[in-house]
Structure 1
Amino acid sequence: MSTVTRSASASPMALNGIIDASLFPLKSTADVVNLFRRALTSGIEPDLTLLSIVVGYIELSLTTGEAASQAAAAAAAMTQAATGGSDVIMGNSVPFPVVTHELIAGLYKKFQTILSVVEKPKPHRQATREIIKKVSDVIWNSLIRSSYKDRAHLQNLYSYLSGNKLDCFGVALAVVAGCQLLGYKDVRLAISEDHAWVVFGQKRVETIEVTWHGKGSEDKRGQDIRPGIESGSWLYLGGLAVVCERGMEVAAICAALNISLTANSDCVEVAELQQQLLWLLYDLGHLKRYPMALGTLGELEEIHRTHGSITCEQLYREAIDSARTHYRNHHVYPYTYQGNYYNRLLKYRDAFAAWANAADVIRLYTYQCRDDEEIYKELLDIANELIPYVMKTESSGHSARSILRDAEVFANLLRFYDGICQWEEDSLTPILHIGWAKPLVNNITKFDYDIRSQVVIKLPEDLEAEQAQAAALEAKEAAAAAAAAAAAEALEGNNNTVVKKDEKTKSSELPTTLADLTAACGEKILNPDFLLQGGGQPFAEQKQQTTVGEADSTEPHNNNNNSNSNNNNHHNAEKEATKTTTTTTASVTTSNGGSGSSGSNSIAIQLPVTSEASHQAGQTQTQTQTHIQNQSQHKEAKPEPEATAPDDYDPFEIMLKRPVIALYSQKMKGLKDLLLAEKLNTHAISLQVTAQSVASRKVRGVAEKQSAATISATITAIASSSTSSGTEGGVGGAAAGASLGASSPGGDSIAASRPKRTRRE
């Protein structure tokens, strides 16, 4: 069938119930993308109702229809016979559904009829809390009660208008679309990483709940979200959720598309449609402030790359940059997207760094048991499934290139658990039970003492002291510079020579008086250089003794150098031979009052370097290196650069790193000495991790301090009295920690790993 020619200026919707019939039927993915492009570029607000109905109809037709089920069963049977049980579905025989004008117009009119009980606004009238609550009541009361569960394919208006079913996000979207259809233009959708609500008003600072959250049926409609923000819940992202414009609301519709066909496979057609729509929104700039949509697009590109210049890794980085730039780094999922991506590529160093960064974000919140269920499952999956599997894989080879020989990986592991421990603090429900403690202890024991001891662990009070010391030093240097500048200004125009303090001290130590010279002339030989030029020591013997003394004082200093400097002394001396000769010649010329001719200079440069000069040059170079190394030990280590690909690093360079981390949680600060001990005490580690004394500090008040002191004293006693190695006490420590451990919100069950999407060819 021929494609209908459409005018470039045609608008796909008019927000008055009249839909342009020339845009239909939609028979392919290209037709749907063209519809969205015209809606986003026509100069008229894109109609959320129309677009949600269109993509919803396509999604449900391809994933939940009877034909889709039959095709999935047939493809699964075919794959079972061909591959012997693989979960990858090789094809889908369901044809692309034809979207007709009659179908869309009928559902559109039905939605208008449902909303007819709500009064339309007068010109330039803004929405109020009562109006939005009434719209949400109308939608809420028309839902089938059994739909109050987060199931797949219930997030669009087609699901609502054809079956009266919506999930949490679908209700929020329906309310915003309904307000737009009524004419309230100031109502916008707000999205966190696991929830959605509505903002309204001229400055869009007013907020209102219009749906529920979780698996229960308790709705929050009409409430403000401020209590959730004040409680520190991750669900509301500290008030830094994504507040959408119209184009971003269209992006939310596309990002919410569910491409799942079965538990282990995806629908190719829906994935392709979602991917092309997100690239359209990306090109139009509607994803810049939407980290979750960028992460979704990155996953789709990872499965099947369609863009020539932008990779999925770049999209994950853009998602992180967006969260840092626009939301003060309060979003967790961009880092879990990146970490899981690196884990799938076996780039374990990068994966550990990304997971640690995710934990650095979650530490900003306080754990809420019911609201934070999804992120709890995500972090539990990383801690108890992904990381132990990586450790098991890496420990089998145990080569120099293994992550178990990298102190930075161990530092990131500690940072990951430190973030989770701090997330637990001040919460009414503990997080870390024995199910967390066992994998933690096992992961730590995989690192040898020589690797663990390379990590420099600092506490917040240490960092504050260093910052205060650095500030005082800077202030002192600034004051000295100001004083020197003032003295220079005061002496400007004065012809008197100012003698420096060092020169004054040096000259006072020399026996320059006539009486001293006369008394010593009978016993010692005078130095000709001193008599002719006035430089150096007055007596030759004294000069020789001074030189020998300097050499003697240098020798023990050299013995304290690092092995690298001692091994390279001779090489450094030969390398600096020419430079030392030139410097010596310049010194001789200067000491002669600068009267040497050019000929004398050339002769001095051509003199061969003797072994004595080479030895002195090596000593000088060694002293300089030692001085620089001693100074660098008192400076805070600079942040390590981002980890590179496995084939781009030097294992010896990695082994010599000394990463510096700061531990902020009370539990991990108590583990500082245990983590760096030569023999790990798994009893004490398990007790410390599962201790409940640091939880609910705001509620317990003063009593918490006494309980914390008791737990710390117990752990210290166990650590001091234990004589067994770390691996010998693993089981016993875990059992002892069970008495202090808390049961997880969902028991000891571990959330299943999120399966990698499989693309059918």
Structure 2
Amino acid sequence: MSTVTRSASASPCMALNGIVDASLFPLKSTSDVVNLFRRSLTSAIEPDLTLLSIVVGYIELSLTTGEAAQAAQAAQATLGGSSDVIMGNSVPFPVVTHELIAGLYKKFQNILSVVEKPKPHRQATRDIIKKVSDVIWNSLIRSSYKDRAHLQNLYSYLSGNKLDCFGVALATTAGCQLLGYRDVRLAISEDHAWVVFGQKHVESIEVTWHGKGSEDKRGQDIGAGIESGSWLYLGGLAVVCERGMEVAAICVALNISLSANSDCVEVAELQQQLLWLLYDLGHLKRYPMALGLLGELEEINRTHRSIGCEQLFREAIESSRTHYHNHHVYPHIFQGNYYNRLLKYREAFAAWANAADVIRLYTYQCRDDEEIYKELLDIANELIPYVMKTESSGHSARSIIRDSEVFANLLRFYDGICQWEEDSLTPILHIGWAKPLVTNITKFDYDIRSQVVIKLPEDLEAEQAAALEAKKAAAAVAAAAATAEALLHLEGNNNNNNSVVKKDEKPKSELPTTLADLTAACGEKILNPDFLLQGGGQPFADQKQQTAAVVAAEQTTSSEATHNNNNNCSNSNNTDKEAKTSTTTSNGGSSNTLTQLSPSEANETQQQKAQHKEAKLEESSNKSNALVEQAPLAPLVDDYDPFEIMLKRPVITLYSQKMKGLKDLLLAEKLNTHAISLQVTAQSVASRKVRGVADNRQPATISATITAISSAEGIGAGGGGGNAANAAASGASSASSGDSSTLAATRPKRTRRE
């Protein structure tokens, strides 16, 4: 490919003053265009959205809709090419001249000349942005109000007055930048675009429409759309772009389609190289859709040595979780479809279930959510049934129909869709959804389905309450144990004036030493002066004398034991047992006798003391156990069941009302397909919300569903259950005949990448 040498002193693409730098042109190859984008993104001056959109738009339309491209499509059709692969169209790369770009740039300036330019340091207002969008809106051809391909760039607008809804939002943002309003930024959800402005970019305004109609939303705030819970606005967590991310949006908007089943390889190569440039510069970190698109392009044509498409899909999911609280659905769909193409069905089911976990965060809006509805319908009614049919044709032990985790993810996928349907004014799961669901469930045998542990939110709340009570009981046990320890510590301390006996030290006598005992004995005994003055010795005088006698007796016993050491063992033992000394003292007519014990008897006394201490500990423990028994006990869950570990029993929680009603039916040994189908296609199980007011009245179909399910459980999965379900279905249809048309909605036909 040819390249153009640039001078080192050349200015960036333009200085936003209406003069396009002629030294940057002509552009004759993909590398020339990439160099133009690189200079724009790395310059001190912010990139010019108008210039870059015109350049890539001209290249896209020349390679996909020009006369040469049409001739290539005709030749491909003649050869019978019908496979969905990227194919070259043998069209030479268009030369982008300075005259062409400068002329279109000047035309856009003239269109915006009716809008007032800002004074220095002036920020945009709602009226200014509305006026810019009005100018662009009023110059469009009315027949262009459809989501067609190749209408998302300024070249399409300036050369043919055609733009789709994203193109209008991009043109409004570029127009505000061209006028000099630096605070206007593009905001992008997964299927819509609008504008944010202000110093902190917290104010928002609609500048376009959405869908196939031409309803005017310009000038409105997006707050109403966020409050409605629609996926279209991602709950207020859309991508708010900086200038580099707006350039990334221009590149993502490139449409590589030649026809419904072929793509232009030259446009795909340009898009892939531009996205890698933006990736290396760090402009895709907060843009999950761009990362997913780059992953798809890398899957088709690997160009990066170290980063593969699987890593890019993971980065897209991580970006959504980190920056947008996992409110973006498409990153999970990208990953699931990728694993499906690689025949990694277990991973695909998990990714699709994760996508359903995201969509459950929203409330279904019929017109606004059309695109994501079609994506989920494709997964539920085309991809999953094909996989199940393929896997059930063999008897391999590694088949996904023998994997309980796959069954759990299948239930999680449908649970997310059912919860998405709740509180919406339009039902989702008509009979076209129910038939594939029932067919897929019947592929799993009872021994596989029974391995899945299905929980409900009520069970989780009960477990949390039980865990809280158990925590309180444990705290009470700890407090009781601390109290018992403190009591034992007090009993082991000698609370004298200056000296404290440690708990491990053995007391020398059995006389009372606590304050209560001292107080009780003061009327009968004489206090020891040393104890009162210095804090040492025994508290009573008679205790001092008794202690001295005990010491003397111990010394006598020790000497006698030494003297008889050479005698035989039996004589020595008898002598030791008979050696006793008694001392008697009189006080006020009363007598106290202290008998010195032999060493063996002293050991027995110490054992009794230890037993007494253990008895107190046991008593404290009994008190603690009594406190635990008074508290409600949490249900015991055996987390270390070897059979559960061996089978790897998956645990899921069903949140939607429809799937919660199917819990027992799903785990039954014999499936009642009629009852399952009737429960899934019930018009509503949750309360309806009309203009913010909840309507708690349940349709007649719900009572019919409950009746059918109970009848089916009582009769079984045979003909009786089917008749009961059919009878309930007929009653439901007669009760809601007016809504039958909405339940029979069909999937709109669409072409690839549109």
Give TM-score scaled by structure 2 length: 0.76
- 8 Å CA contact retained: 2:674, 2:721: no
The equivalent of 1:53 in structure 2 is 54
Change (3 A) 1:730 1:363: farther
Equivalences for 1:361-376 in 2 at 5 Å? Answer: 361-376=358-373
d(CA) in 1 for partners of 2:35 and 2:447?
61
The equivalent of 2:425 in structure 1 is 428
SS, match of residue 703 in structure 1: coil
SS, match of residue 664 in structure 1: coil
2:711 equivalent to 1:717 = yes
- 8 Å CA contact retained: 1:690, 1:738: no
Q: Please say which of residues 135-144 and 687-696 is displaced more in the overlay.
A: 687-696
The equivalent of 2:594 in structure 1 is none
d(CA) in 1 for partners of 2:646 and 2:164?
51
The Cα shift of 1:73 comes to 1.9
The equivalent of 2:595 in structure 1 is none
The Cα shift of 1:660 comes to 0.5
The equivalent of 1:578 in structure 2 is none
The equivalent of 1:73 in structure 2 is 74
2:477 equivalent to 1:480 = yes
Equivalences for 1:100-115 in 2 at 5 Å? Answer: 100-115=97-112
d(CA) in 2 for partners of 1:675 and 1:726?
18
SS, match of residue 134 in structure 2: helix
d(CA) in 1 for partners of 2:78 and 2:260?
15
d(CA) in 2 for partners of 1:725 and 1:678?
16
SS, match of residue 749 in structure 1: coil
Counterpart AA for 1:148: Y
The equivalent of 1:152 in structure 2 is 149
The equivalent of 1:12 in structure 2 is 13
Change (3 A) 1:753 1:119: closer
Change (3 A) 1:355 1:457: same
d(CA) in 2 for partners of 1:674 and 1:26?
65
The Cα shift of 1:724 comes to 1.1
d(CA) in 2 for partners of 1:362 and 1:16?
45
SS, match of residue 392 in structure 1: helix
SS, match of residue 454 in structure 2: strand
Q: Please say which of residues 202-211 and 719-728 is displaced more in the overlay.
A: 719-728
The Cα shift of 1:165 comes to 0.1
Change (3 A) 1:727 1:104: farther
Change (3 A) 1:378 1:274: same
The equivalent of 1:609 in structure 2 is none
Counterpart AA for 1:722: G
2:43 equivalent to 1:42 = yes
Q: 2:208 aligns with which of 193, 207, 211?
A: 211
Counterpart AA for 1:362: I
Per-residue deviation, residues 280-309 of structure 1 (Å, max 9, x unmatched): 000111101000000000000010010111
Per-residue deviation, residues 441-476 of structure 1 (Å, max 9, x unmatched): 101101000000110000001001111111222232
Q: 1:227 aligns with which of 188, 200, 224?
A: 224
- 8 Å CA contact retained: 1:232, 1:365: yes
d(CA) in 1 for partners of 2:363 and 2:504?
67
d(CA) in 1 for partners of 2:333 and 2:10?
42
SS, match of residue 72 in structure 2: helix
d(CA) in 1 for partners of 2:750 and 2:479?
62
- 8 Å CA contact retained: 1:335, 1:354: yes
- 8 Å CA contact retained: 1:232, 1:238: yes
- 8 Å CA contact retained: 1:686, 1:734: no
2:265 equivalent to 1:268 = yes
2:675 equivalent to 1:684 = yes
- 8 Å CA contact retained: 2:419, 2:656: yes
d(CA) in 2 for partners of 1:414 and 1:7?
61
The equivalent of 1:583 in structure 2 is none
Counterpart AA for 1:162: S
The equivalent of 1:657 in structure 2 is 648
d(CA) in 2 for partners of 1:432 and 1:291?
29
Counterpart AA for 1:242: V
SS, match of residue 103 in structure 2: helix
Per-residue deviation, residues 471-530 of structure 1 (Å, max 9, x unmatched): 2222322343344345445645645579xxxxxxxxxxxxxxxxxxxxxxxxxxxxxxxx
SS, match of residue 444 in structure 2: coil
Per-residue deviation, residues 105-151 of structure 1 (Å, max 9, x unmatched): 00000000000000000011111000000000000000000000000
The equivalent of 2:342 in structure 1 is 345
- 8 Å CA contact retained: 2:187, 2:195: yes
The Cα shift of 1:716 comes to 1.4
d(CA) in 2 for partners of 1:752 and 1:726?
39
2:173 equivalent to 1:176 = yes
SS, match of residue 55 in structure 2: helix
2:289 equivalent to 1:289 = no
d(CA) in 2 for partners of 1:355 and 1:635?
30
Is the radius of gyration larger for structure 1 or structure 2? Answer: 2
d(CA) in 2 for partners of 1:412 and 1:8?
59
d(CA) in 2 for partners of 1:489 and 1:8?
83
d(CA) in 2 for partners of 1:634 and 1:753?
50
Per-residue deviation, residues 619-653 of structure 1 (Å, max 9, x unmatched): xxxxxxxxxxxx99705699xxxxxxxxxxxxx99
2:704 equivalent to 1:701 = no
Identity in percent: 79
Q: 1:198 aligns with which of 195, 198, 202?
A: 195
d(CA) in 2 for partners of 1:11 and 1:27?
18
The Cα shift of 1:434 comes to 0.6
The Cα shift of 1:722 comes to 3.5
2:435 equivalent to 1:460 = no
Q: Structure 1 unaligned runs (5+)?
A: 499-630, 639-651
Counterpart AA for 1:153: H
Change (3 A) 1:437 1:197: same
- 8 Å CA contact retained: 2:317, 2:331: yes
SS, match of residue 140 in structure 2: coil
Change (3 A) 1:466 1:240: same
The equivalent of 1:254 in structure 2 is 251
d(CA) in 2 for partners of 1:216 and 1:73?
32
Counterpart AA for 1:77: T
The equivalent of 1:30 in structure 2 is 31
The Cα shift of 1:202 comes to 1.0
- 8 Å CA contact retained: 2:83, 2:261: no
Q: 1:330 aligns with which of 327, 330, 333?
A: 327
d(CA) in 1 for partners of 2:753 and 2:22?
40
SS, match of residue 396 in structure 1: coil
The Cα shift of 1:709 comes to 4.6
The equivalent of 1:438 in structure 2 is 435
- 8 Å CA contact retained: 2:704, 2:732: no
2:305 equivalent to 1:308 = yes
Q: Structure 2 unaligned runs (5+)?
A: 494-501, 506-633
Counterpart AA for 1:634: V
- 8 Å CA contact retained: 1:59, 1:153: yes
d(CA) in 2 for partners of 1:19 and 1:248?
22
SS, match of residue 397 in structure 1: coil
d(CA) in 1 for partners of 2:132 and 2:392?
58
d(CA) in 2 for partners of 1:458 and 1:668?
11
RMSD: 2.9
d(CA) in 1 for partners of 2:724 and 2:705?
19
Q: Please say which of residues 67-76 and 113-122 is displaced more in the overlay.
A: 67-76
- 8 Å CA contact retained: 2:86, 2:265: no
2:673 equivalent to 1:672 = no
The Cα shift of 1:7 comes to 1.8
d(CA) in 2 for partners of 1:69 and 1:425?
47
d(CA) in 2 for partners of 1:722 and 1:754?
45
